[in-house]
Chains A and B, each alone.
Chain A
């Protein structure tokens, strides 16, 4: 009887198991093997041992730049998107009329295709004709920046534009429901004691929602690692030069433009290791937010 039940359960789960073997688990093993090979899809793959990795980590290798930008972008976009999500969620928790209308405007960029938004950004941040630089000249700023072409600005810009992504909207909603669960009595007590809004935020709000903050920080890291292509590729194409070449773009170029599949696989392995470390962190920290109960 017990055995029969196991069989039935596995029949239900079987689509996922097949999918896992074909599209996730199998490919992860394959990408590790491929990272030790040289392959251009025409000649048969050739085992080259650690060559791809050695090439990647040579001191003059471009990969250092790619890795540096990816980590910079991830770190900055996590700070920006989590901070922005918390800020907007706090605004939506104010006792003012029309919160529902505001929440529509705050969340709607999250459901709009990023590719469409990147076209708007190209116009808005244009050096000569863009509205951002026009506004800057109105407040008498000369030498307005060439946002998308200047290596100094563009790396910051792409990270800041993360406030328009689906993931930031998602975090805003999660923060929003966490904020609604902070006990009202705490605020009332603090107000009687004469605590100002800032004190209340740092002494009551932040400690109460800290598990959710932690959760959002880790998911934001995974999200910016796995969504960077959709924002950066159409916006800058990795340029100017290669200053915004995140690892996702580099994998794409190497695998599907120059057909260096082994090298691209080695990069994918590095990306896998980075996200595995983040996930592990998530797993360890998860005990704080009771997320994995089976």
Chain B
């Protein structure tokens, strides 16, 4: 009886794992198929004639290297910006008493709930006025002004640091900036890593914002580049699309494997006290 139960549990867990991983597996295995095999029936998971040509082609003969470079710029710019600004903004919210603190924190939480489609039109107009359209600036600059979600995560972490540390530093004559920079930042390494990783994955994947602000092929990140590539070829080049898609999905998977503990810890705390 007990044994059958465990067998059933395993079967269920394996089925769910297959459902969840199947699209990823399909992308990776398809990337080794020649184009002709995409129209063969019945569909096969693995290529009949295994080829590496798709990779060779997208790496040498497409805009993929440019898209990759652009994605890296957006990812790094956003991550650096958000780490600098959000860590700073969260500090007084977690560790100082000042007038209007409650209001500011409430506003930060409230803006977390506003979908980006609500503000996109005025932002577009603002960046057009500044002459920033079709550049990385509309996508990177806002990161330097603290994203609410990351402020929230930093604040949650800072609150767990004992207050006695600040008191001791104050007695030694440190000002708030020195406390932040010399005490809080060095012991907050885990949260910097968590947000750094989460932000990197987020901006590696982001599609909507660059879709709105970037038009030139030379500036498109992978997400938008692969989309426009799929739209511009005369026949859909599934072979090349799948090779590009594989190149696109591998880095976040590796990053997830490396920083798994940080990612799961970071996400879990957002939902709980």
Residues of A within 8 A of B (CB): 5-6, 8-10, 12-13, 15-20, 22-28, 30-31, 34, 41, 87-88, 91, 94, 96, 102, 104-109, 111-117, 119-121, 123-124, 128-131, 134, 163-164, 166, 169-171, 173-174, 176-178, 212, 215-216, 219, 222, 225-226, 229-230, 233-234, 247-248, 251-252, 255-256, 261, 264-265, 268-269, 271-272, 275-276, 278-279, 282, 289-294
Contact = CB atoms under 8 A, between A and B. Distances in A.
Given A6-B99, A275-B113, A116 B142 contact: no
Contacts of A282: 113
B248 interface: yes
A124 B23 contact: yes
Contacts of B20: 88, 105-106, 108-109, 163-164
Given A102-B13, A252-B212, A174 B41 contact: no
A196 B122 CA distance: 56
A115 B117 contact: no
B60 interface: no
Interface string B93-137: 100111101101111111101111111111111101000000000
Given A113-B205, A234-B207, 14 more contacts: A9-B101, A23-B142, A31-B118, A112-B252, A113-B252, A115-B207, A119-B226, A128-B41, A173-B271, A174-B271, A229-B208, A255-B121, A268-B119, A276-B113
Nearest to B238: A123
A27 B104 CA distance: 18
A181 B170 CA distance: 38
A275 B118 contact: yes
A65 B39 CA distance: 35
B152 to A, nearest CB: 10
A111 B89 contact: no
B121 A34 contact: yes
Contacts of B101: 9, 294
B18 to A, nearest CB: 8
B3 interface: no
B262 interface: no
Contacts of A291: 273
Given A15-B85, A116-B248, A30 B204 contact: no
Main secondary structure of the interface of A (DSSP, over half): helix
B165 interface: no
Given A28-B114, A119-B245, A271-B118, A174 B268 contact: yes
A223 to B, nearest CB: 9
Interface stretch (B24-32, B48-56, B188-196): B24-32
B272 A177 contact: yes
A41 B61 CA distance: 37
